[in-house]
Amino acid sequence: MKGGRRWVWIVGLLAVGALSRAAYTSYVYLKPSTVPLAILADPDGYGLMARHLVGIRELSVVSGQPLTGREPFYPFLLAGSYVLFGTSPVVGLVLNQALGLLACWLIFLLTESVFRKQRVALLALAFACFYPEWIYYGAFLYRETLVTVLLLLWAYLWASSGETPSPGPYILMGLSFGAIAITRSPMTPLGLVFLLMAGRRLKPVAWPRTLGLFLLCACLLQVPWIWRNYRLMGRFVAGSSMGGSVMYLSIQKDYAKPEEALEKPMLGQDPVFQEMRARGLTVDQAEPMFYRACWDIFIHQPGKFWKAFACKALKLWRPFPNPGWEYAHSYAVLRAVGLISTGSLMILGALGAWWAWRARFRIGFLLMVPAVMTIIYGLFWAVTRYHSPLMAGWIPLAAFAAARLLAESTEEESEGTR
């Protein structure tokens, strides 16, 4: 494909992707609603945290109660956009739209770097531009879009130049990974697996200027957050202080049944929660207790632990959202859209992984992302929007399979006309 025609396709797909995101966002917020825009657009409170950062210089949801349970990078990014353009939630929504388009562009670059075929890269770009979940979650102040961008940047740096012993790419990859860890800390194990994967391909003599720089740059971003939390909590906090309670609660109760808050039925009768309340601790302060309780379940009730793990891991790969929630759209429609879009991508991705592995393409990073994330969310919990970063590794593989199927179909048609 000639350069000019290539850019026509790229710009055209990105333009239609931008229009589809803007159209859906407008559809969501232009409907009559009694809920203020600042609340409707901010289900997880990140916009509120960003406004507190701008107004009272504090990372919190409640004024005077600094948070250690939410990682800081996304709120700080929102706060930066608020400083520049005002604290309207529209500013945050525009930021997420821009991040969504950046994710699509990085999908194209990553796929082209791995498979060296423009047709495959353009298919990946089309999948990314029109993937319903990416369009939907970009219309709210969720951090998944940012996590996806950072993952894709890291993957692209590795695929394009990161396998050489030059230190430059590892500095950038370390910064990308460090930003991921302070955006969604449970994804930190991705860095450990990457070190093993990269170490196998590099000579030991190159490790200090490659893997060492990767770790150094990643730590430079994380150390201030860890030190701040240590001063607040008086102990080391691994990323965020809500990990222990999340893991414990997800072992006890299926989050797919949202008729009541996850922790509500346990506050009065669960022994760990009873001890927490008797000692006058907050959930954040009681995090070590919850981790110890999880360990006790793992040792003494392994069946319960692994059953919960399997249910959460399988739910992560379910292509449609949980039933029972109050959705703005028909659940039947959402289920059908999920089966058609996410379901197709999952099947194509598995097929593409098999073909790419047999063809000896270097797809280790693409497989690492969904594999490690499945384990992470199996330990904690899985909800539908966690598909978003998982698909960063899956869409390029799906595009490779789709391109091969289209090529085989074209060859059969050509043979039939001879």
pLDDT beyond 80 at 259: no
Q: Where does the pLDDT of residue 245 fall: very low under 50, low under 70, confident under 90, or very high at 90 and above?
A: confident
Model pLDDT for residues 77-99, shown as the tens digit of each residue:
999 999 999 999 999 999 999 99
pLDDT beyond 60 at 257: no
Tokens 């994710």 -> residue: 103
Q: How large a percentage of the chain has pLDDT more than 70?
A: 92
Residue pair 353/362 in contact by the 8 Å Cβ criterion: no
The CA distance from 239 to 180, in Å, is: 11
- Please tell me which of 37-41, 79-83, 310-314 the model is most confident about, judged by mean pLDDT: 79-83
Q: Which pairs with CB-CB distance under 8 Å and at least 24 residues apart come from 54-61?
A: 54/79, 54/82, 54/83, 54/87, 55/87
For residue 143, report the phi and psi dihedrals to the nearest 5 degrees. Answer: -90, -5
Contacts of 225 (CB under 8 A, 6+ apart): 71, 72, 182
Residue pair 41/29 in contact by the 8 Å Cβ criterion: yes
Model pLDDT for residues 191-241, shown as the tens digit of each residue:
999 999 999 888 999 999 999 999 999 999 999 999 999 999 999 988 888
Q: At what angle do helices 144-157 and 73-85 cross, to 10 degrees?
A: 110
SS3 label, residue 233: helix
Q: Where does the pLDDT of residue 385 fall: very low under 50, low under 70, confident under 90, or very high at 90 and above?
A: confident
Q: What is the mean pLDDT of the chain?
A: 89
Q: At what angle do helices 364-379 and 189-201 cross, to 10 degrees?
A: 150
The CA distance from 253 to 258, in Å, is: 10
User: Residue 267 has what pLDDT?
Assistant: 61
Higher-confidence residue: 405 or 265?
Answer: 405
Other CB atoms within a 10 A radius of the CB of residue 23 amount to 11
User: Residue 324 has what pLDDT?
Assistant: 67
Residue 215 burial (10 A CB sphere; 0-12, 13-18, 19+): middle
Please, how many CA atoms are within 13 Å of residue 106, restricted to the half-sphere of its CB? 25
User: Residue 262 has what pLDDT?
Assistant: 54
The CA distance from 121 to 17, in Å, is: 15
| Model confidence, pTM | 0.93
The CA distance from 132 to 138, in Å, is: 10
pLDDT beyond 70 at 260: no
The CA distance from 370 to 359, in Å, is: 20
User: Residue 332 has what pLDDT?
Assistant: 86
Question: Minimum mean pLDDT among 112-121, 128-137, 235-244, 321-330: which range?
Answer: 321-330
For 320-365, give the secondary structure using H, E and C.
CCCCCCCCCCCHHHHHHHHHHHHHHHHHHHHHHHHHHHHCCCCCHH
pLDDT beyond 70 at 75: yes
pLDDT beyond 80 at 253: no
Residue spans per domain, the chain: 3-416
Contacts of 382 (CB under 8 A, 6+ apart): 255, 312, 313, 315, 316
Mean pLDDT, range 350-375, rounded to an integer:
94
Q: Where does the pLDDT of residue 331 fall: very low under 50, low under 70, confident under 90, or very high at 90 and above?
A: confident
**What is the DSSP secondary structure assignment for residue 60, as one 8-state letter?**
B
User: Residue 1 has what pLDDT?
Assistant: 61
Contacts of 282 (CB under 8 A, 6+ apart): none
pLDDT beyond 70 at 152: yes
Q: How many residues does the chain have?
A: 418
User: Residue 320 has what pLDDT?
Assistant: 84
Model pLDDT for residues 153-203, shown as the tens digit of each residue:
999 999 998 667 889 999 999 999 999 999 999 899 999 999 999 998 889
Helix ranges restricted to H, 131-242 = 132-137, 144-157, 167-181, 189-201, 207, 213-233
Residue 311 burial (10 A CB sphere; 0-12, 13-18, 19+): middle
Q: Can you give the C-alpha Rg of the chain in angstroms?
A: 22
Q: Where does the pLDDT of residue 266 fall: very low under 50, low under 70, confident under 90, or very high at 90 and above?
A: low
The CA distance from 1 to 39, in Å, is: 47
